[in-house]
Amino acid sequence: MNLAELDRLRGQAEQLRAVDTQDIPGPERTLLLGYTCDRDTWHVYARGAYLHVLVYNHVTRVVVRYERHFHWQAADLVPDKRVYPESTDLEFARLLTSHGLNLRFTSFDPARYERLAQKPFHGAIYDSATRGLANVEGGSL
């Protein structure tokens, strides 16, 4: 096949790998926390009826990207660098890997796990009123 055919084939495969809010039962919580190649924090969380993706600079607390949808392409929910295993929901990770995604985890940190395990959110969330970041219970790292 040529390059255009390869791109078309990949695009068709991506269309089959969708994630909906109905796929993620349970309470509002962090589903995945990681970081990008630019060292921005990548936070995927369930809140309300949506799946949210929030990318922000952890130091300056500037929002780089924020989106919320009922329906996502699975590949759009994973950062391009690493994921913290202590802040990744097991069922969400299983769902993503069942769609053929490879989650690149950092080393497991037992102390971080103990600090965050019982908290619903492991990173900041988006505050639509201020268009900035908000910490909720357990929201700071």
- Given this model, what pLDDT does residue 12 score? 61
Q: What pLDDT digit, counting tens, does each position of 31-40 carry?
A: 999 999 999 9
Q: Report d(CA 140, CA 82) in Å as an integer.
A: 19
- pLDDT band of residue 100 (cuts 50, 70, 90) is confident
Q: What pairs with residue 33 in β-bridges? A: 43
Evaluate if residue 85 carries a pLDDT over 70: yes
Tell me the pLDDT of the chain averaged across its residues: 90
Taking 80 as the threshold, does the pLDDT of residue 123 lie above it? Answer: yes
Q: How confident is the model at residue 138 (pLDDT cuts 50, 70, 90)?
A: very low
Contact 85, 105 (CB under 8 A): yes
Q: What is the pTM of this model?
A: 0.86
pLDDT of residue 13: 57
Residue 141 has pLDDT above 70, yes or no: no
Closest CA to 124 of 39, 45, 35, 24: 45
Q: What is the mean pLDDT of residues 60-80?
A: 95
Q: Where residue 139 falls among pLDDT bands split at 50, 70, 90?
A: very low
Please check the confidence at residue 108 and state whether its pLDDT lies above 80: yes
